[in-house]
Structure 1
Amino acid sequence: MGQPVAFFEITSTAPEKVRAFYTGLFGWSAEPDPAMDGYAMVDTGAGPDAIGGGIGPSQAPGDTGVKIYVRVDDLEKELARAGELGAPTLAPPMDLPEGYGRIAVVADPDGNPVGLWA
């Protein structure tokens, strides 16, 4: 059985502008949370089974863009498998706040970031 896409993230050096674009284009809601440095959880309005997302400020040079997070059962195992496939680790495993699990980010062969979420 395959692993589902579980979350999307859009980061930008101009998050207000990007947030206005996506909410205006698709009718999403995304209110920035000051407690999360202006990161906004996205409600696409597509119902309870829709994939959730976030829009927020860039955290490091070169990290702007759109990335997907794929749900995995064992973060360390999948991170190791990604490494065996030649994927460098862009962000090592880290805990998400409020018990939302753990994530890591690798790069695909073209350098696109791909999040792993357990």
Structure 2
Amino acid sequence: MKNRNGKVVGFEISSQAPEKAAAFYSSVFGWEVDEPKWDYHTVTTGHKDGINGGISKGPHDHPHGTRIQIEVESIEQTISAAKENGAMVVRDKMEFEHFFLAYLVDPTGVGIGLIENK
């Protein structure tokens, strides 16, 4: 079964110096960067058609880099299909206030996030 959502809904910049990264993107691109919540700075790019995201201190398995976040109807079904197609689960389904989140690495080594809204 193919997932019909699959829409990119955000990005996450991982950095070992998140405050410095937040200052850079705010100064250079005019992004609005909120104070951290769960060690995650929410970012608004300021464009009505743009994609918003966040900046956080990267964990040991993704210390720096950028991940796109893809909206899915079911994280469980998407993880199953991804594993069948060579992906590795980095963080299984986690629950937050308004959504669920999981992290995968695709067969080529690219990290992605999955978002399932409640």
- TM-score range (shorter-chain normalised) is 0.7 to 0.9
**2: CA distance, partners of 1:110 / 1:72:** 21
Number of aligned positions between the proteins:
113
Contact 2:9-2:71 at 8 Å conserved across structures: yes
Letter in 1 for 2:104: V
Distance 2:108 2:53 in 1: 23
Q: Unaligned regions of 5+ residues in structure 2, if any? A: none
Give, in angstroms, the shift of residue 29 of structure 1.
0.9
- Please name the residue that 2:44 is paired with: 43
**1:17 Cα shift?**
1.2
- Distance, in Å, in 2 between the alignment partners of 1:13 and 1:57 is 5
Give deviations 1:22-63, integer Å, cap 9, x for gaps. 112211010222x423x210011112x432201111232443
Once residues 75 and 62 of structure 1 are traced to their aligned partners in structure 2, the CA distance between those partners, rounded to angstroms, is 20
Q: Is the 8 A contact 2:35 2:42 kept in 1?
A: yes
Corresponding position of 1:77: 77
2:103 corresponding residue in structure 1: 105
Consecutive unaligned residues of structure 1, counting only runs of 5 or more, are none
Percent identical among aligned pairs is 36
2:19 aligned with 1:21: no
Q: Secondary structure at the match of 2:47?
A: coil
The TM-score normalised by the length of structure 1 is 0.86
2:60 aligned partner? 60
Compared CA separation, residues 2 and 61, structure 1 to 2 (3 A): closer
Q: Which has the higher helix share?
A: 1
Moved more, 59-68 or 4-13: 59-68
Q: Distance in 1 between matches of 2:62 and 2:101?
A: 19
- Where 1:11 maps in the other structure, the secondary structure is strand
Across the aligned residues of Structure 1 and Structure 2, the Cα RMSD in angstroms comes to: 1.6
